[in-house]
Amino acid sequence: MNDSDLRQNVIDELEFDPSFEASSIGVAAKSGIVTLTGHVSSYAEKQAAERAARRVKGVMGIAQEIEIRYPTDKKTSDDEIARRCVNIIAWDTTLPEGKISVKAERGWVTLTGEVPWHYQRVAAESGVRKISGVTGITNLITIQQKVQATDVKHKIEEALKRNAEIEVQGIRVTVTDTSVRLEGKVNAWHERDVVEKAAWSVPGVQNVVDKLSI
């Protein structure tokens, strides 16, 4: 696929997604690397645009240069952003009470703390991402649960075998303590995401090194 076709396919996918205004986003493509420019009205929309571009076959990498511009051009104060973050985390019953701390600086939110499961780490970031005024997130929440490396490897391999989208024979899983290394080849970007998600879904995994090629 040439650069022109890839660019048009990404544009079509952005226009197909209703969660952001595609007309405000510019697209450039070169050797499989897609650059997104322009502006959106929230951090959630910025992330949604990147996910849409990743879904397109032939996309090997994303250069994310989209800016966030608030509809009223009025920035929310950091103390208000922090208060909203604390509240939304407290309201999520799947998250352990009092285990996650929030810091906001110029709209950028940093999350710290320790939780038992990776999905809780993701849920905390997902909730904060929707808050007006947030321009970016640094997620430093760690996973506290400890498991045997052999158990982690077995659970990941079994999860991949159950997934009809993935040819598990072409994927190598190496586990060192609570770090997982993925190697091999997949057919498309979304398959790579499926494999990485399977690794993160195992309790005790604290780091995933994705060396999969497309």
pLDDT digits (tens, 9 = 90+) for 149-208: 666 667 777 777 776 666 666 778 888 877 888 888 877 777 788 788 878 877 777 788
Q: Confidence band (pLDDT; 50, 70, 90) for 89?
A: very high
List the domain boundaries for the chain: 3-68, 78-143, 149-213
pTM of the model: 0.48
CATH topology identical between 3-68 and 78-143: yes
Among candidate residues 155, 148, 186, the one with its CA nearest the CA of residue 173: 155
CATH 3.40.50.300 fits 78-143, yes or no: no
Higher pLDDT, 148 or 209: 209
Q: Which amino acid is at 181?
A: R
Q: How many CA within 13 A on the CB side of residue 14?
A: 27
Note whether 206 and 193 are within 8 A (CB): no
What count of residues does the chain have?
A: 214
The answer, yes or no, to whether residue 111 has pLDDT greater than 90, is yes
pLDDT number for residue 200: 81
Rounded-to-integer distance, Cα 208 and Cα 170, Å: 18
Rounded-to-integer distance, Cα 84 and Cα 15, Å: 31
The answer, yes or no, to whether residue 98 has pLDDT greater than 80, is yes
Give the class (CATH, top level) of 149-213. Answer: alpha beta
- CATH, domain range 3-68: 3.30.1340.30
